[in-house]
């Protein structure tokens, strides 16, 4: 696998047939026309992973509002995933409505999710795909660090806003210290050399921003 090509930003998510808690799914075709998030975890029935799955499920309505599907993965079989999901619903009162991929390690290797120094478990990876199946964001976390699920929601919101308005979002958007929930607009070279984008607020001709609703 050392010579395998790992998925990169801007590429199409690789075609995979996966077994899940909701049956066999073809990726990325199963989510065609929708944004979707694939996230991996090291093992079922472990505390950090359980806290993350609880949080992903708690944010389900926010992902639904963004027409964004969720799918999990670890190097465990489907029966283990289902038993764990049932435990989370019964003991933590949180139903897991998204599918979880059962993997013997092949898919995790294909997607570059295995940290050689951490055994054969998948690390905490996040892949965000747009409605065309193009990879828009990749995040990597070590096994000992739980993810901030609100940040995953923010990423999807920001990317969708950027695509819809041809803008960029600043640091910590929508609570940026300089411009709050406003967004950055890019001047043409001619505009940057002059007064910036007409009608935009600006700190400099090359730093323009505006509100979008």
- For tokens 């509002």, name the residue: 65
Contact call for residues 109 and 115 (beta carbons, < 8 A): no
Residues 94, 49 share a domain: yes
Residues 69, 139 share a domain: yes
Residues marked active site are found at 49
Residues 142, 170 share a domain: no
Contact call for residues 182 and 175 (beta carbons, < 8 A): no
> pLDDT tens, 1-20?
444 578 999 999 999 999 99
DSSP string, 53-112: HHHHHHTHHHHHHTTEEEEEEESS-HHHHHHHHHHHHHHHS----S-EEE-SSHHHHHTT
Range of the domain at 191: 166-210
Report the pLDDT value the prediction gives residue 121, as an integer from 0 to 100.
Answer: 77
Residues 115, 35 share a domain: yes
Note the residue count of the chain.
Answer: 213
Residues 103, 20 share a domain: yes
Is a pLDDT exceeding 80 seen at residue 31? yes
Q: What is the CATH number of the domain that holds 31?
A: 3.40.30.10
What is the count of structural domains for the chain?
Answer: 2
> pLDDT tens, 135-154?
999 999 988 899 999 999 99
| In-domain check, residue 9 | no
In this structure, what are the phi and psi dihedrals at residue 10, rounded to the nearest 5 degrees?
A: 90, -10
Residues 172, 141 share a domain: no
With a pLDDT cut of 90, the percent of the chain lying above it is: 88
């Amino acid at each position: 696998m050392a010579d395998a090509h790992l998925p990169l930003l801007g590429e199409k998510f690789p075609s995979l047939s996966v077994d899940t808690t909701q049956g066999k799914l073809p990726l990325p075709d199963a989510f065609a026309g929708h944004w979707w998030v694939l996230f991996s975890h090291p093992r079922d029935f472990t505390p950090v992973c359980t806290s993350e799955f609880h949080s992903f499920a708690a944010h389900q309505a926010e992902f639904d509002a963004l027409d964004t599907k969720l799918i999990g993965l670890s190097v465990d079989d489907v029966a283990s995933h289902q038993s764990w999901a049932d435990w989370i619903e019964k003991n933590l009162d949180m139903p897991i409505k998204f599918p979880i991929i059962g993997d013997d390690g092949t898919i995790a290797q294909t997607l570059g999710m295995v940290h050689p120094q951490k055994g054969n478990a998948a690390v905490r990876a996040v892949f965000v795909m747009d409605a065309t199946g193009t990879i828009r964001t990749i995040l990597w976390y070590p096994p000992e660090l739980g993810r901030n699920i609100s940040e995953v929601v923010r990423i999807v919101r920001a990317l969708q806003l950027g695509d819809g308005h041809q803008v960029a979002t600043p640091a910590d958007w929508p609570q940026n210290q300089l411009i709050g929930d406003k967004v950055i607009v890019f001047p043409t070279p001619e505009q940057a050399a002059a007064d910036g984008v007409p009608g935009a607020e600006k700190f400099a001709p090359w730093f323009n921003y505006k509100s979008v609703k």
